[in-house]
A and B are shown apart, each in its own frame.
Chain A
Amino acid sequence: MDLHIAQPSAGTDDLATRGITELAPLLRDGKISPVAVTEACLDRISRYDGAVHAFIRVTADRALAAARSAEAEIAAGRYRGPFHGIPFALKDIIDVAGVPTTAHSRLLPADTPIAVSAPVTQQLEAAGGIMLGKLGTFEFALGGPSWDLPWPPPLNPWNTDFLPGGSSSGSGAAVAARFVPSAIGTDTGGSVRWPAAVCGIVGLKPTYGLLSRRGVQPNTFSLDHCGPMTRTVRDCALMLAACTGHDPLDPGSADVPLPDYAASLTGDVKGKRIGVVRNWYVPEATDEVVTAVDSAVEQLWALGAIVEEVTLPDIGDYSDCKTLISTCELFAIHAPDLRTRPQLFGAKLRQRVIGGAFVRAEDYLQAQRWRTELVRQMLALFLRYDALATAGWLSTADPASPEAADFFRTRRLVTMPFSLAGIPALVVPCGFGAHNLPISLQIAARPFAETTVLRIGDAYQQATDWHLRMPVLH
C-alpha cells in the first residue's frame, strides 16, 4: 500500500496540503499570506494536474490578484472571517464573472466569459475566498465519465488507473490531490457524495434550497443542490457557512435561520440516536465496503451514540423514481439542442437524455407522487432517530476505462434516497480498500439539520485518522 500520513514540511507543499481550519488562524494573524497559499496551490496544480486532469481552467492571474487584495485587507485589519484568503475551485457548471462556463461540453462556448457570478460564487468571494479555477465534471453534471469530450475525464489522485466518481469528478480529485483545500460540487443524485466517497474526502449535500442554484447549469430542477467538498468535516462547516444564504431569485431557495455550523462541532455524540440503513449496503456493497462501514458504525457506538438497524425500501425504488424524474426534467432542458445539434453531445449525455422523450406527463406526476411516498417513509424515522447512517458508496472507485458499461443503467445508487428526500447527507472517509482506494460512511438527518450530520461526522473524524492520509502524486 502506497499510503502515508501527511507530514508538514517547510516547502510550498506544506501550505497547499493544509485545510481551512489550519490556514485560517495563520492568515488572520498575518503569519502566512494568502498570496503564499495561493502560489503553493498553483504550484502543486502545475506539477501534478497533468496526471489528474482535475481542472478545465486554472485562473491563476485572477486568483493572485484576489490573493493580493486579501493580503492587503487582512494587513489593514479588515479580516472577513475564516474563509478569508482560502483558495477554492468550482465545478465548471457554476458561473464566475469573467470566466467561461463549459459544463465540460462542446455545447457551450469555451471562450465566452460569463457576465455575472452565481450567488454561491459571489458569497464565497465576499467571504474572502480565492477562486483558483474551474473543475472537470461529467458533461452537464450527467454525461460521464466520457472520453469523447474536449477535455479528458479527471482521474483519481489515489490511483490514476481509477476514476474519481462523478459528476463533481474534478472537485473530488482536486481536493483529494491537495490542489485546493475546498471546492464546490453539485449533487442531483449523489454527485457531491460519490466523488467525495471514492476520493477519500468530505462532501455534503445540504438540504434542498439551502444553497442557491442560480447561475449553475441545471440537471434536475427539483433535485439540484450545490455542496461543499473539503478534507475535514470542520472545514466543510466553515465553507458551508461561507456560501449559505437565501436567494430570492432562486425559486427553490429556502429562507431559514442559519445556525453557527462550526459551533455545533462539539465532538460529542453521546445519546445521539442513529438508525443504520444496512439493507442498502448488505449484501449489495463489496465486502471491504461492508466491513469498513460496519466498523465506522461501531466507532460511533463506541463514542456513545445509540445505534440501531433500520430497514427502508430497496435502493432500486429510490433510484428508479429519481431517474424517471430526472430523465424528464433533463429532456425539457436539453431537447432544443438534441433536436438541432445532437452531434455536439457526448455520447453518454445524449444517451441519458433522449429517454425523456418517452416519459409521459402522467409518468412524471406518478413518479413525483412515488417520491412523496418514499420520502414520507424515510422522514418518519426522524421521529425516533437523530440521524441515519449507511455506506457512502457501495464500492471503491471504478477503473478508468472507456470501454466500461454505462453504470447509470446497471447500478443502484446509495446516494439517491437522500437526494429524493432533499435532506442533508454527508460522506466521510472510513477506510481504504484494494488498490489504495478510499471507502466512506454516509450520514443523513432531517431537513436543515446540517449541524447534526456535521457534528456526527466531526466526532467520527476526531476519533479516526482516515482523513489525514494523503495520496502520493507523480
Chain B
Amino acid sequence: MTAPMPDREQILALAAQAGLTLPAAYEDELVAAYANVRRMIDRLPANRPRGDEPAHVFVPTKFLPTEN
C-alpha cells in the first residue's frame, strides 16, 4: 500500500535525516526531487521471494591484492 505523501516540512526532515540540510534556496528542488523519486519507488514490485538475490553480488576474488 502506498504511504501518504509527506508535506514540505516532512520532506525537509527526511532530507535532514539523510544528512542533507540545504540552504533555503534549494528547498524547492528537494521537494520536487522527492516527488520524482517517490513516483518511481511506488512502482517497485513488492512481495519478492525471500531468497531473490539482487543484481549485485559480492565476489571476494575481485578484491585480492595484485602486483600492479
**Which residues of A line the B interface, CB within 8 A?**
222, 248-249, 251, 317, 320, 323-324, 327, 331, 335, 338-339, 342-343, 347, 350-352, 354-360, 363, 365-373, 375, 409
What would 7 more interface pairs be, CB under 8 Å, given A249-B68, A338-B22, A360-B41?
Answer: A347-B29, A351-B33, A354-B26, A355-B37, A358-B15, A358-B38, A369-B53
Q: Which residues of the partner chain A approach B22 to less than 8 Å between Cβ atoms? A: 338, 342, 354
Within 8 A of A (CB), among B3-43: 11, 14-15, 18-23, 26, 29-30, 32-34, 36-41, 43
Q: Which residues of the partner chain B approach A357 to less than 8 Å between Cβ atoms? A: 14-15, 18-20, 30, 33
A324-B41 contact given A249-B66, A354-B15, A357-B15, CB 8 Å threshold:
yes
A-B contact pairs, 25 of them (CB 8 A): A248-B68, A249-B68, A251-B59, A320-B39, A324-B41, A335-B19, A335-B20, A338-B22, A339-B19, A351-B32, A354-B33, A356-B18, A356-B37, A357-B14, A357-B30, A358-B11, A358-B33, A359-B37, A363-B41, A365-B54, A366-B44, A366-B48, A369-B55, A370-B44, A409-B36
Q: Which residues of the partner chain A approach B23 to less than 8 Å between Cβ atoms? A: 342-343
A222-B36 contact given A363-B41, A369-B48, A373-B45, CB 8 Å threshold:
no
- Please tell me if the beta carbons of B41 and A372 are within 8 angstroms of each other in the complex: no
Q: Which residues of the partner chain A approach B41 to less than 8 Å between Cβ atoms? A: 324, 358-360, 363
Q: Among the interface residues B20, B30, B32, which one has the most CB atoms of the partner chain A within 10 A?
A: B20
- Please tell me if the beta carbons of A355 and B36 are within 8 angstroms of each other in the complex: yes
Looking at the complex, which one of B11, B55, B68 makes contact with A368 (CB distance below 8 Å)?
B55
Q: Which residues of the partner chain A approach B38 to less than 8 Å between Cβ atoms? A: 358
Looking at the complex, which one of B15, B26, B66 makes contact with A350 (CB distance below 8 Å)?
B26
Q: Which residue of A has the minimal Cβ distance to B20?
A: A357
Q: Which residues of the partner chain A approach B11 to less than 8 Å between Cβ atoms? A: 358
CB distance from B43 to the nearest CB of A (A): 5
Docked Cα-Cα span, A310 to B47, in Å, equals 28
Q: Which residue of A has the minimal Cβ distance to B30?
A: A354
Q: Which residues of the partner chain A approach B30 to less than 8 Å between Cβ atoms? A: 354, 357
Which of under 10, 10 to 19, 20 to 34, or 35 or more describes the interface residues of B?
A: 35 or more
A375-B55 contact given A351-B33, A357-B18, CB 8 Å threshold:
yes
Docked Cα-Cα span, A160 to B7, in Å, equals 43
A358-B54 contact given A339-B19, A366-B48, CB 8 Å threshold:
no
CB distance from B63 to the nearest CB of A (A): 6
Q: Which residues of the partner chain B approach A251 to less than 8 Å between Cβ atoms? A: 59, 62-63
Q: Which residues of the partner chain A approach B59 to less than 8 Å between Cβ atoms? A: 251
- Please tell me if the beta carbons of A372 and B54 are within 8 angstroms of each other in the complex: yes
- Please tell me if the beta carbons of B62 and A368 are within 8 angstroms of each other in the complex: no
**Which residues of B line the A interface, CB within 8 A?**
11, 14-15, 18-23, 26, 29-30, 32-34, 36-41, 43-46, 48, 52-56, 59, 62-63, 66, 68
Docked Cα-Cα span, A347 to B25, in Å, equals 11
Docked Cα-Cα span, A318 to B44, in Å, equals 11
Q: Which residues of the partner chain A approach B29 to less than 8 Å between Cβ atoms? A: 347, 350-351, 354
Docked Cα-Cα span, A355 to B40, in Å, equals 11
- Please tell me if the beta carbons of B54 and A369 are within 8 angstroms of each other in the complex: yes
Which 4 A-B pairs have CB atoms at the shortest separation, nearest pair first?
A368-B54, A355-B33, A357-B18, A355-B37
- Please tell me if the beta carbons of A222 and B55 are within 8 angstroms of each other in the complex: yes
Q: Which residues of the partner chain A approach B68 to less than 8 Å between Cβ atoms? A: 248-249
Q: Which residue of A has the minimal Cβ distance to B33?
A: A355
CB distance from B26 to the nearest CB of A (A): 6
Q: Which residues of the partner chain A approach B40 to less than 8 Å between Cβ atoms? A: 320, 323-324
Q: Among the interface residues A352, A354, A363, A365, which one has the most CB atoms of the partner chain B within 10 A?
A: A354
Looking at the complex, which one of B36, B37, B46, B53 makes contact with A372 (CB distance below 8 Å)?
B53
Docked Cα-Cα span, A317 to B37, in Å, equals 14
- Please tell me if the beta carbons of B34 and A366 are within 8 angstroms of each other in the complex: no
- Please tell me if the beta carbons of B44 and A324 are within 8 angstroms of each other in the complex: yes
CB distance from B56 to the nearest CB of A (A): 6
Docked Cα-Cα span, A372 to B52, in Å, equals 9
Q: Which residues of the partner chain B approach A327 to less than 8 Å between Cβ atoms? A: 37
Q: Which residues of the partner chain B approach A358 to less than 8 Å between Cβ atoms? A: 11, 14-15, 18, 33-34, 37-38, 41
Docked Cα-Cα span, A351 to B21, in Å, equals 14
Q: Which residue of A has the minimal Cβ distance to B49?
A: A369
Q: Which residues of the partner chain B approach A248 to less than 8 Å between Cβ atoms? A: 66, 68
CB distance from A417 to the nearest CB of B (A): 14
Docked Cα-Cα span, A347 to B30, in Å, equals 12
CB distance from A73 to the nearest CB of B (A): 25
Looking at the complex, which one of A320, A342, A351, A371 makes contact with B55 (CB distance below 8 Å)?
A371
Docked Cα-Cα span, A370 to B56, in Å, equals 12
Docked Cα-Cα span, A335 to B17, in Å, equals 13
